[in-house]
Copies of this chain bind each other. A is one copy, B any other.
Amino acid sequence: MSRPDWIALDWGTSRLRGWAMRRDGTVIEERSSDAGMGRLAPEDFETALRAMAGDWLDQGPVPIVACGMVGARQGWAEASYASVPCPPLSPALTRTPGELDVSIIPGLSQSDPADVMRGEETQIAGFLALNPGWDGVLCLPGSHSKWAHLSAGEVVSFRSFLTGELFAALSTHTVLRHSLANEGWDEVAFDAGVAETLSRPERLASALFSIRAEGLLQGRSGAVQRARLSGLLIGAELAAAKPYWLGQQIGVIGAGGLAGLYVRALAAQGAPATQANGTAATLAGLTAAWKQRTTA
């Protein structure tokens, strides 16, 4: 393989993904490993990177641009936050210690209400690179889903929601685990769950227990109840995020089924949303950061 011009890294809590890149933005090769930031001590990052990308680095120094939790306080090198309102990509990248030429993209912070993101700023930058001049609201579903208001190339404000982690914790570590299947789905139950908490968000706390009670009394299937729990949580998020999305142009970033659920739930509220590929956005954002870096 010829030597890459640069390497792009999406280094999150649970996974490391890397792309060997050409100067013109072509991907030479893509790899990933489970060496997420969550299982690494600061001194382990270089080893984990070499284990995944060793031969990409064999023919001499290659600049590397990384985004995600690799820049957290517990990561390889802390990349301090840029404070909104600001463009999603700060020009001030953080260099890691050691011999490799690794630059980490800073996350974004907001002081009031207090909020932070790491990694999503790169997807937002990539989405803007792919859709120049786009104004509106981006939704980035996930463990800690984000809603970001974009205007004139800047992130004006954003809010995070614990929705994904709440789903995981409820379905694994509470009495609801007895009532939920690991697989299966029911669109009617999902839609009803969304409608219930979107119109009456205060019902979430009791609706959660009702999943258990309905399982006991009405024999509702675990697949139906899994869809209902997802709907209740996404509905509660949409209720809280309504000032963001109401009457706005909406983009939902993510290739998978989860982003599709958000698009479906928004459509039911008469709020059409465009779904954008998450990996493409990440890569476009890393590319924008690399270009910005080399011209700085």
Interface bracket on A: 35 or more
On whether the beta carbons of B213 and A114 are closer than 8 Å, the reply is: yes
A152 on the B face (CB < 8 A) = no
A282 on the B face (CB < 8 A) = no
Please name all residues of chain B whose beta carbon is closer than 8 Å to the beta carbon of A206 when the two chains form the complex. Answer: 113, 159-161, 240-241
Within 8 A of B (CB), among A156-213: 159-163, 165-166, 168-170, 172-176, 201-206, 208-210, 212-213
Choice from B114, B165, B210, B241 contacting A217 with Cβ under 8 Å: B114
A237 on the B face (CB < 8 A) = yes
A239 on the B face (CB < 8 A) = yes
Please name all residues of chain B whose beta carbon is closer than 8 Å to the beta carbon of A168 when the two chains form the complex. Answer: 173-174
Please name all residues of chain B whose beta carbon is closer than 8 Å to the beta carbon of A43 when the two chains form the complex. Answer: none
Binding site for B on A (CB under 8 A): 73, 81, 109-111, 113-116, 143-144, 159-163, 165-166, 168-170, 172-176, 201-206, 208-210, 212-214, 216-218, 233, 236-237, 239-242
